Structure 1
Amino acid sequence: MYFTQADIDQLIIEDLPLHDETTRALGLPDVTGSLTYTARQHGVLAGMAPLLRMAQSLNLRAEPLAADGHTTAPGQDVLRLHGPAHALHIVWKQGMNLLEYLGGIASATRQMVDAARAGNPRVQVAGTRKAHPGARKLQHYAVLCGGGMVHRAGLSETILVFAQHRAFLPGLDVAQLVARAKAHSPEKFVLIEAENEEDALAAARAGADGVQLDKMTPEQLAALVPQLRALQPRLTINAAGGIRLDNAAQFAASGVDVLVTSSLYNAKAADYGAVMCMDSAQIAE
């Protein structure tokens, strides 16, 4: 995923709207030193890519010791930054936020992917666009680091017809909705959300590219999926609603292709430590 300079500047400005009042008030000397981030628990690393770009923007020299997507162990150093003390203090907490919050999401994603694939080795776990406002790109990146996929990056990406759309088109049935969508956007994937068996089967018969089965139980899905496959073998079948780590394997075993969830964004943050020190040469001075 590409992070623009504007993305990186916003991360810096969020924590540095004007200046660092603590370093100013203390008269902190702007001598060189280092900042080391260390994992305190097992997990999956995420947030390194934007953190490295932050360091580059602040003219810090980065020494990455692990990469996004790698597993971490307690006591493992993942990144060491070198440079002026003032810049180290600017990057310190915001860098910690990236590693901890994104690492939590990546770790939760990896756990859910592993659990789901115990029920179906080919299933995918997808994070929705129901991310925290302003943080979607970062949270989607964390899902990717954890081995998941992005369901929809935004409204422009694919066609997903919800009941909320159908409320404003009461004269059109599922087949007409699919036909209209394909006529106006022939290059786009057309996905119909279905809350019942009737709508799901109608979407498959109408030639939808996919159906998203909302709030159905694993047992309901297991009964419906073979019927949908019989109508359209290449149909993409998503399950959404109520999918958690403790039931992911059951949902996956129903035969669906994708488990769609927003629960990953509420994962507990990872735990990292950070240690700063002044360069020994300058201590000697």
Structure 2
Amino acid sequence: MMYFSQAEIDQLILEDVPLHDETTRALGLPDAPGSLTYTARQHGVLAGIAPLQRLAQALGLRAEPLAADGDLLAPGQAVLRLHGGAHALHLAWKQGMNLLEYLGGIASATRQMVDAARAGNPRVQVAGTRKAHPGARKLQHYAVLCGGGMVHRAGLSETILVFAQHRAFLPGLDVEQLVARAKAHSPEKFVLIEAEDAQDALAAARAGADGVQLDKMSPQELAELVPQLRAMQPRLVINAAGGIRPDSAAQFAASGVDVLVTSSLYNARAADFGAVMRVD
């Protein structure tokens, strides 16, 4: 689903092992063959198995996947078993747990949001933004995908998204001129305008923008505006952003927007996993 480079995997290892495992060294731990099994302690959505397998393999361990990223989990379900020497098992142990717990929490929150939103509109998408934790964006985006969501915008190089902050430095250009300039310089790129109000959104649609992002509008305001935008440009992609939570997602989705854009998924509570090591 998503490729993780060897450099990224190595960085995960180096973060936890800048030199060596001092506990293993100090105890004189024998490098006996053994296994490490990760087990879910609660219901949720699995995420993190793919990068964890790569991490284990980089340490010389054999990975035995017992479930796949995106699977629904039950308490007590084993998801991955690693085989190899005790030293490498201890190097993989906690960083592997971090991947499963933090990414699993995001994936589970995403699935909850998707299910809630699609109760209001079966075709709506839930998208995670680039407002992720610094250094962890790719992993967090991966977790969103595992939970059934999509990536709103992986980075600045992807789509053209015009904010008020851009417009502050171009005071002489109206929305129509901004759209025309963006399309002239990047004809292959999707042009999205964040609209400050209904008038701004209608102007963006009239100007030929590919999409509008409606920030901090209530579901009621969206329900009034979306039909107007559709009548003006039927193929316009309409995003809603701001204040979207599981308890409000259905209302936002029912307004007729295409995408619910949120950063709240990244603050999800971590999933709970157990880990057991055994000597073979």
Q: Above 0.5 in TM-score?
A: yes
Equivalent position of 1:133 in the other structure: 134
Equivalent position of 1:22 in the other structure: 23
**In structure 1, how many angstroms separate the alpha carbons of the residues matched to 2:42 and 2:84?**
27
SS for the counterpart of 1:238 is: strand
Equivalent position of 2:58 in the other structure: 57
Structure 1 alignment gaps of length 5 or more? 280-285
Runs ≥4 in structure 1, deviation > 6 angstroms?
none
| Residue 83 (1) aligns with residue 105 (2) | no
**In structure 1, how many angstroms separate the alpha carbons of the residues matched to 2:115 and 2:242?**
19
Q: CA deviation at 1:206?
A: 0.3
SS for the counterpart of 2:278 is: strand
Q: CA deviation at 1:4?
A: 0.1
**In structure 2, how many angstroms separate the alpha carbons of the residues matched to 1:86 and 1:242?**
47
The superposition leaves residues 57-113 of structure 1 with CA deviations (integer Å, 9 ceiling, x where unpaired) of 011011100000000000000000000000000000000000000000000000000
- Percent identity reads 88
**In structure 2, how many angstroms separate the alpha carbons of the residues matched to 1:250 and 1:93?**
40
Which amino acid is 2:179 matched to? Answer: V
SS for the counterpart of 1:155 is: coil
Is the 1:195–1:216 contact (alpha carbons within 8 Å) kept by the matching residues of 2? no
Structure 2 alignment gaps of length 5 or more? none
Equivalent position of 2:100 in the other structure: 99
Is the 1:218–1:251 contact (alpha carbons within 8 Å) kept by the matching residues of 2? yes
Q: CA deviation at 1:15?
A: 0.1
| Residue 171 (1) aligns with residue 169 (2) | no
**In structure 2, how many angstroms separate the alpha carbons of the residues matched to 1:16 and 1:232?**
54
TM-score of the aligned structures, taking structure 1 as reference length: 0.98
SS for the counterpart of 2:63 is: strand
Is the 1:35–1:275 contact (alpha carbons within 8 Å) kept by the matching residues of 2? yes
Matches within 5 A, 1:1-285: 1-279=2-280
Q: CA RMSD in A?
A: 0.3
Which amino acid is 1:261 matched to? Answer: T
**In structure 2, how many angstroms separate the alpha carbons of the residues matched to 1:19 and 1:60?**
17
Q: CA deviation at 1:277?
A: 1.0
Is the 1:161–1:193 contact (alpha carbons within 8 Å) kept by the matching residues of 2? yes
Is the 1:52–1:62 contact (alpha carbons within 8 Å) kept by the matching residues of 2? yes
Q: How many residues align?
A: 279
SS for the counterpart of 1:9 is: helix
**In structure 1, how many angstroms separate the alpha carbons of the residues matched to 2:62 and 2:160?**
44
Which amino acid is 1:181 matched to? Answer: A
**In structure 1, how many angstroms separate the alpha carbons of the residues matched to 2:241 and 2:55?**
36
SS for the counterpart of 2:20 is: coil
The superposition leaves residues 36-76 of structure 1 with CA deviations (integer Å, 9 ceiling, x where unpaired) of 00000000000000000001101101110000000000000
**In structure 1, how many angstroms separate the alpha carbons of the residues matched to 2:185 and 2:176?**
14
SS for the counterpart of 2:260 is: strand
Which amino acid is 1:50 matched to? Answer: P
Which amino acid is 1:51 matched to? Answer: L
The superposition leaves residues 188-226 of structure 1 with CA deviations (integer Å, 9 ceiling, x where unpaired) of 000000020111000000000000000000000000000
The superposition leaves residues 142-191 of structure 1 with CA deviations (integer Å, 9 ceiling, x where unpaired) of 00000000000000000000000000000000000000000000000000
**In structure 2, how many angstroms separate the alpha carbons of the residues matched to 1:164 and 1:153?**
19
Equivalent position of 1:283 in the other structure: none
TM-score of the aligned structures, taking structure 2 as reference length: 0.99
The superposition leaves residues 12-55 of structure 1 with CA deviations (integer Å, 9 ceiling, x where unpaired) of 00000000000000000001000000000000000000000001
Which amino acid is 1:6 matched to? Answer: A
**In structure 1, how many angstroms separate the alpha carbons of the residues matched to 2:228 and 2:45?**
38
**In structure 2, how many angstroms separate the alpha carbons of the residues matched to 1:191 and 1:249?**
24
SS for the counterpart of 1:38 is: strand
**In structure 1, how many angstroms separate the alpha carbons of the residues matched to 2:160 and 2:104?**
31
**In structure 2, how many angstroms separate the alpha carbons of the residues matched to 1:79 and 1:152?**
31
